[in-house]
Amino acid sequence: MNKKWKRDDLIVRSLADNYLPIALVLGFYVILHGNISPGGGFQGGVLAASGVLLLYLGYGFRGIATAINMERMHRLEAVGAIAYVLFAMLGIFAGYNFCRNILWYSGNIGDLWSSGTIALMNYAVGFKVLTGVGFLLLLVIYLLGMGEDEEHDGTIPTMEHEEGGLSK
């Protein structure tokens, strides 16, 4: 990586400012309409997670470290996965099989809320992918930043497995 490249560049930062909301809105749109249009939780989640990269391009490592809590993002990924399993288990509680759509008769065809629990499972997948891919990108950026001296100013977000050896 070219070390002379400045992350404080005004043009890049302005573009990031403008494109970050667009990326997030597009991502959430695709997640939200996953049940009635092409795309879905996975695709929308990846789109929204690209916001992490825009943030990095615009504000550099320090910006990311102040804006995003890496540890929390890691945990929210697990929450997304558990939420998916719980929504899928609703089928069992309703007397059918795992993953069964139990409110399929709700709403009119084409409405946003018309697919019952499928939509909820889709949102859970979107949330999991958003946080999971976001965490992966953060990890990659963190590893890239390790090679550059000026980034070692204490703003590096801590990772769980960096602090091993502590036991109660």
Partner 1 sequence: MTYDVYMHFPVLAIMALFVGAFLVTLSGKREVLRNIIAGAAVLIALTLLALLIKPVMVDGEIITYWMGNWEPVNGYAIGIALEVDALSLFFGLLVAIAVACSCFYSFQYIRQDDARGGYFTLYLMLAGGVMGIVLSGDLFNIYVMLEVMTFAAVGLTAFRTWNPNAREAAFKYLVVGSIGSSCVLLGTALVYAQCHTLNLAQISALIPGRMNPTMVLAFALLFTGFGCKSFMFPFHPIAADAHGAAPSSVSVLISGVFTKTGVYGIIRVSYFLFRSMGLTSMQTGLVFIGCVSMFVCVTMALNQHDFKRLLAFHSISQIGYILTSLGLCTALGIAGGLYHAINHTLFKGLLFLTAGAVLYATGTTYLEKLGGLARKMPQTAALFLIGAFSISGIPPFNGFYSKWMIYQATFEKASETGSIGYALVTVVCVVTSVLTLASFIKVGQSVFFGQMPLEYENVKETPLSMRIPMWIMAALCVFTGVAPNIMINYVIGPATGAVLNFPGYIDAAMGEGYAAATITDTGYLAEPRLLTIGAWNPVNWLLLFVVVLAAVFLVSILGKRDRGEVNCAPDSKHAVFFGGEESQYSHVASGDLFWGFKHNLRGYLGFMSKAHSGVTNDYVLWGVTALAVIILYCFAFM
Tally the residues of the chain. 168
**Residues 98-127 vs partner 1: string with x where CB under 8 A?**
xxxx--------------------------
Q: Which region holds residue 77: left if phi is over 0, alpha if psi is between -120 and 50, else beta? A: alpha
Question: CB neighbours of 25 closer than 8 A, spacing ≥ 6?
Answer: none
Question: CB neighbours of 97 closer than 8 A, spacing ≥ 6?
Answer: 91
161 is an interface residue for partner 1 by CB under 8 A: yes
Question: What residue type is 143 in one-letter code?
Answer: L
Torsion angle (degrees, nearest 10) of CA 43, 68, 16, 137: -50
**Residues 61-100 vs partner 1: string with x where CB under 8 A?**
-------------xx-xxx-xx--x---x-xx--xxxxxx
Give the nearer residue to partner 1 in terms of CB position, either 24 or 79: 79
Give the nearer residue to partner 1 in terms of CB position, either 77 or 151: 77
Give the nearer residue to partner 1 in terms of CB position, either 61 or 128: 128
Asked if 156 and 145 touch (Cβ cutoff 8 Å), the reply is yes
140 is an interface residue for partner 1 by CB under 8 A: no
40 is an interface residue for partner 1 by CB under 8 A: no
The beta strand positions in the chain, using DSSP E, are none
Rounded to a whole number of angstroms, the minimum distance from the CB of residue 128 to partner 1 is 9
160 is an interface residue for partner 1 by CB under 8 A: yes
Asked if 57 and 16 touch (Cβ cutoff 8 Å), the reply is yes
Rounded to a whole number of angstroms, the minimum distance from the CB of residue 162 to partner 1 is 9
Residues that bind partner 1 in the complex, under the rule CB under 8 A: 74-75, 77-79, 81-82, 85, 89, 91-92, 95-101, 160-161, 163-168
